[in-house]
Chain A
Amino acid sequence: MSSAQAAAPPIIRVRGLQKIYRLGDVDVPALRGVDLDVPRGEFLAVIGPSGSGKSTLFHILGGLAPPTSGEISIDGADLRRMSENERTAMRQKKIGFVFQKYNLLPTLTARDNIALAQSLAGVTAPPPGFEQILELLGIRQRLDHRPRALSGGEQQRVAIARALVNQPAILLADEPTGNLDTANSNAVLEILRDLNNRTGQTILMITHNPEAAAFADRTVAMRDGRMAAL
């Protein structure tokens, strides 16, 4: 991360973020006051055990769930003030998701999975330089295959391409190597690292694996719904 990046306002700014789920008559706090700044262009890893709240943080940062309280700003937009429709629009244009289970639509080819993300954002053509990203991901020859004909590593690389096609401000990756063997895990992590280096793409990666976290610029830890020391 350069000094200019450090001086610019963070692309993700979280203060006192709380999320409480209500299960029957019981309140279950998932986040108990999270503070986090992510500078633009940073590759950040969030590690923590199961139940630490990192997936809840992922969902809130991605606009999939509203916070209960606290301040949260994504690329200058106040997430707490956003309506459901505005959060949907933010997901279309500012956030790219990469999931542990790839989450490609099984009925569409890799190419169409990518095109669908564009179509939902109202974009008709891939951005300039997207061919190079496909080259970097090594999936150009596999674009006309459906997910069932692709290996796990290939599916995850297609999912990364899909997440990047709308040039999002932030790439959110939730355990992107959780379903992959070591070789494919390393390949995917190398790609994320390379992507961050070459394009300055901000990446926030959730993982429970310290080895995966080691590919990031910085690692923060979560425990019991709070940021914790590493």
Chain B
Amino acid sequence: MINKLVIENLRHRWVRTLLCALVVGVQVMSILTLIGLSRGMLQDSANRAKGTGADIFLKPDTQGTFSFSSGQIDEKFEPFVAKQPHVAQALGVLITPVELITTISGVNVAPFEKMSGGFHFFAGGAPSAPDDIVVDNYYAQQHKLRVGSTVKLLNHAWRVSGIMRSGILGHLIVQLSSLQRLTGNATPPRVSEILVKLDDPARTTQTVDQLNALLKGNLRAISMTDLQSQFSVSNIPELRAFIGVITTLAVVVGFLVVFLSMYTAVIERTREIGILKALGAKPLTILDILVREAIVLAIAGCVIGILLSFASKALITGLMPSSLRVIDVPDWWPYAAAIALGGALLGAIYPGFKAARQDAIEALAYE
């Protein structure tokens, strides 16, 4: 019967119930979208790194795994690495940011095609002229580009020579020499990282150790397997902190919304609380009713939030397919639900105790 009373109370004030659940839903959506975005972006980066065909990445020894500061490695390391045992191919890549989170990659096209297995073009072909650029299908869709279109990046007009299937290195690929010239990395020629393909991938660990010993103080080798495993939220402290802040904000918002809703409900229902007390409801029963209402609001908010997260994913993917990648994170649904529930319960506690302590006679006299 108490459950029926809870449901009827929520139905009776359906606008407030809906608004409250909606706000809780927005907080759940924020968390799920943020996690989905973080994972999606990292997974996309991992897939594109894997798409290069390299077994080992060489980065400046002082640089973090996810740093892409352009031009810190002298290109002369490339032939030096290529001569090492079991190295089938070494290839310098220059990576430069061009938009908020989009980078442009400069490669020597023929050797890169050999290493990666070649681009898969939907239209056009590889860059053959210094001003040619290859864009992936997501970037082309987002910026409405076709083969022959001009795209201005780094204060330079590029001609789209081909539209490739996404998944290799980056969304934008140009000739290495062009990018080095435009970014001041031509003299001496410098690159961001060196991709290494081995003659026998089974020797990756051994070769990583050898390269690290050989290049200590200059470059750091990391296997593709290790790189893939590092593309996770837990390996990026800044992202972890950001998610922590958003989660905390979600709890605070949930708490405030439910608190406000329950507080006004308690005042509005003062007389009803008096009736319940006259009928023999214990203070804990009154608290129980409000806590159950908060739980229902949180559950409804979770369902709304999960549905909204699909909508936000569709919106983000539709508007910015090349810049932002969002994936579904069903494993986070319980966490988001727990966060929403926690905020809602916190919000119900004070109004609940206020109601439980309500004097029955005063409550019955309340107009």
Contacts and interface: CB of A to CB of B under 8 A. Distances in A.
Given A97-B279, A106-B12, A115 B361 contact: no
Interface string B335-357: 00000000000000000000000
Interface in B252-284: 271-272, 274-282
Interface in B1-34: 1-2, 4-5, 8-9, 11-12
A85 B278 CA distance: 12
A30 to B, nearest CB: 11
A92 B279 contact: yes
Interface string A11-48: 00000000000000000000000000000000000000
A103 B11 contact: no
Contacts, number: 66
Classify the interface of chain B: helix, strand, loop or mixed. Answer: helix
B285 A97 contact: no
B273 to A, nearest CB: 10
B364 interface: yes
Interface residues of A, number: 27
Interface residues of B, number: 23
A103 B364 contact: yes
B247 to A, nearest CB: 35
A89 B1 contact: no
Contact of A92 (B12, B280, B361): B280
Classify the interface of chain A: helix, strand, loop or mixed. Answer: helix
Interface string A97-113: 10100011111100010
Given A64-B277, A93-B280, 19 more contacts: A62-B278, A64-B360, A64-B361, A91-B277, A91-B279, A97-B279, A99-B364, A103-B271, A103-B275, A103-B364, A105-B272, A106-B12, A107-B9, A108-B4, A112-B5, A116-B1, A119-B2, A120-B276, A120-B280
Interface of B: 1-2, 4-5, 8-9, 11-12, 271-272, 274-282, 285, 360-361, 364
Interface of A: 59, 62, 64-65, 85, 88-89, 91-93, 97, 99, 103-108, 112, 115-121, 162
